């Protein structure tokens, strides 16, 4: 059964793979890196860590405060970035925590080693805040024989404008919780009462601003290709994965085509020709549970050249059934999550905490954790670190991912990552490589 995704459901996508320049190893030249505590404008030599914070430049005061901790979470030093958000950390600490978003959020990298290039980038702020980025005025390339309706889509939401006259311009809203690469692509569909007949698309687009309108002329129509979207047989014991997602990659933007409820074996699907596609398997805390912001969720993602599209529930990561937050006597917190099996096959995970009690209405604290991890202790910070953001509360959430677009935990932790809490794997991979993923709660 194909299920349409509305508000309150998950949208998720990953783009095609490449070699990210931000996570590349240093060039190994003979020049020494910057002195301990110094700053750098280029990739460092191996003996240290290069940090760049660009996430909240328009929102908060720079420099950013940065806390350096050892593997046990002991505070080694507190430093500040320079005015460009850069800092050279030598010797390499095991954990790096950055105060961002006007000091209402914290982001902690764990498992840091010499040679890492850590980058906090992209938009900041709570993932649940949906922002209108702009509107595309989509001009269709004419009529399609047999078509009774036409629609246009940007990103991963199903709020498509629909018309029955192909001469009518379609206003396709670009919303922050629906897009990956800033909504730089749009796809239109011509369909009858039962199926898609043709697709037209365009990539490399740019918006004129949140209140602006951008004209987009599509063309020509390409006939839809009919194929199937299904799963391999379930393992003994029943359902492992819950929902599969199918995306078309239009340029560097994944656009959601459909979803498959894995209680069904297969469904017919019409797709655009000549594009690369991406499948994603999701596992929620309970079978068929809705995936909300603080849920424990795992994903497995793969690029696929063409249909038929087949996902294998046996490849799903184990279900994370519960999580907990406990205040320790030393003022730190212990966070635990309970997977049904080993998460060692993942590329890495994000663990998120909500913060309350500070000057901000609600803050967040996000951790990058290695595959296989099932617990962490919050690192020791300066006594005034929570003056605005507050302290951890509630039930934490964990997201783990295994993707053929990610080469293990080093790439996972060293790719540009936004400090917007657990709600998304958002802009986690570099723009220049065309690699992005995120989840969205609507």
pLDDT band at 182 (very low <50, low <70, confident <90, very high): low
**CB-CB contact of 432 with 330 (8 Å):** no
- Alpha helix stretches (DSSP H) within 1-70: none
pLDDT of 235 reads 62
pLDDT of 390 reads 74
pLDDT of 417 reads 62
Record the pTM: 0.76
Mean pLDDT score across all residues of the chain: 75
**CB-CB contact of 350 with 313 (8 Å):** no
> Residue 8 pLDDT > 60, yes or no?
no
C-alpha–C-alpha distance, residues 116 and 146, integer Å: 56
Domain residues for the domain of 191 are 132-223
Lowest-confidence pick of 113-117, 204-208, 414-418:
414-418
> Residue 438 pLDDT > 80, yes or no?
no
How many domains does the chain fold into? 1
> Residue 418 pLDDT > 60, yes or no?
no
Q: Any bridge partners for residue 310, and if so which?
A: 230
C-alpha–C-alpha distance, residues 374 and 376, integer Å: 7
> Residue 436 pLDDT > 60, yes or no?
no
What pLDDT, in 10s, does the model give residues 71-90?
A: 999 999 999 998 888 999 99
> Considering the domain boundaries, does residue 384 fall inside one?
no
What pLDDT, in 10s, does the model give residues 120-160?
A: 765 433 344 567 888 999 999 999 999 999 999 987 776 78
> Residue 332 pLDDT > 80, yes or no?
yes
**CB-CB contact of 141 with 130 (8 Å):** no
C-alpha–C-alpha distance, residues 164 and 143, integer Å: 10
> Considering the domain boundaries, does residue 395 fall inside one?
no
CATH of the domain at 154: 2.60.40
pLDDT of 383 reads 79
DSSP letter (8 states) at residue 384: T
pLDDT of 142 reads 96
What beta strand segments (E) does 204-265 contain? 213-217, 222-223, 225-231, 243-250, 253-261
What pLDDT, in 10s, does the model give residues 239-254?
A: 556 778 888 989 878 8
Contacts of residue 406, Cβ cutoff 8 Å, sequence gap at least 6: 17, 347, 348, 412, 429, 435
Percentage of the chain beyond pLDDT 70 is: 71
Residue 422 burial (10 A CB sphere; 0-12, 13-18, 19+): buried
C-alpha–C-alpha distance, residues 253 and 188, integer Å: 14
> Considering the domain boundaries, does residue 169 fall inside one?
yes
> Considering the domain boundaries, does residue 160 fall inside one?
yes
> Considering the domain boundaries, does residue 168 fall inside one?
yes
C-alpha–C-alpha distance, residues 46 and 64, integer Å: 24
C-alpha–C-alpha distance, residues 123 and 91, integer Å: 29
pLDDT of 170 reads 96
C-alpha–C-alpha distance, residues 156 and 133, integer Å: 14
pLDDT band at 361 (very low <50, low <70, confident <90, very high): low
Q: Which residue has the higher pLDDT, 413 or 226?
A: 226
DSSP letter (8 states) at residue 314: G
- Alpha helix stretches (DSSP H) within 336-396: none
pLDDT band at 430 (very low <50, low <70, confident <90, very high): very low
Structure tokens at 142: 């004419």
Half-sphere exposure of 67 (CA within 13 A, CB side): 25
C-alpha–C-alpha distance, residues 372 and 341, integer Å: 9
What pLDDT, in 10s, does the model give residues 276-286?
A: 998 888 776 65
What phi and psi, each to the nearest 5 degrees, are found at residue 57? -60, -35
pLDDT band at 212 (very low <50, low <70, confident <90, very high): confident
């Amino acid at each position: 059964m194909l299920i349409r995704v509305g508000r309150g459901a998950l949208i998720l996508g990953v783009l095609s793979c490449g070699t990210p320049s931000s996570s590349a190893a240093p060039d190994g030249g003979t020049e020494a890196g910057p002195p301990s505590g110094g700053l750098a404008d280029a990739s460092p030599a191996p003996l240290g860590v290069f940090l760049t914070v660009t996430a909240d430049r328009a929102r908060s005061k720079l420099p950013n405060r940065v806390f350096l901790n050892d593997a046990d979470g002991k505070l080694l030093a507190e430093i500040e970035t320079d005015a460009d958000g850069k800092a050279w950390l030598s010797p390499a600490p095991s954990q790096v925590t950055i105060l961002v978003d006007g000091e209402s959020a914290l982001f902690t990298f764990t498992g840091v080693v010499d040679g890492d290039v850590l980058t906090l980038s992209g938009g900041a702020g709570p993932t649940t805040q949906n922002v209108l980025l702009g509107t595309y005025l989509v001009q269709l390339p004419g009529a399609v024989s047999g078509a009774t309706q036409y629609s246009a889509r940007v990103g991963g939401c199903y709020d498509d404008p629909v018309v029955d006259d192909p001469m009518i311009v379609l206003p396709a809203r670009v919303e922050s919780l629906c897009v990956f690469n800033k909504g730089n692509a749009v796809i239109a569909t011509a369909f009858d009462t039962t199926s898609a007949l043709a697709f037209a698309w365009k990539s490399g687009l740019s918006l004129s601003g949140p209140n602006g309108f951008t004209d987009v002329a599509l063309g020509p129509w390409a006939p839809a290709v009919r194929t199937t979207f299904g799963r391999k047989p379930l393992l003994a014991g029943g359902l492992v994965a819950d929902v599969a997602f199918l995306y078309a990659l239009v340029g560097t933007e994944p656009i959601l085509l459909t979803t498959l409820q894995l209680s069904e074996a297969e469904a017919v699907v019409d797709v655009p020709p000549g594009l690369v596609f991406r499948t994603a398997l999701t596992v929620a805390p309970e079978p068929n549970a809705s995936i909300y912001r603080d849920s424990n969720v795992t994903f497995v993602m793969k690029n696929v050249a063409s249909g038929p599209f087949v996902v294998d529930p046996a490849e799903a990561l184990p279900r994370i059934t519960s999580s907990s937050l406990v205040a320790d006597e030393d003022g730190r917190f212990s966070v635990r999550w309970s997977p049904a099996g080993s998460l060692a096959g993942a590329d890495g995970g994000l663990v998120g905490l909500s913060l309350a009690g500070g000057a901000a209405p609600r803050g967040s604290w996000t951790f990058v954790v290695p595959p296989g991890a099932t617990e962490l202790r919050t690192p020791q910070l300066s006594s005034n670190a929570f003056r605005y953001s507050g302290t951890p509360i509630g039930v934490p959430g964990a997201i783990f991912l295994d993707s053929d677009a990610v080469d293990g935990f080093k790439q996972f932790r060293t790719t540009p990552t936004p400090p917007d809490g657990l709600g998304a794997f958002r802009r986690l991979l570099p723009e220049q490589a065309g690699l992005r993923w995120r989840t969205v709660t609507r």
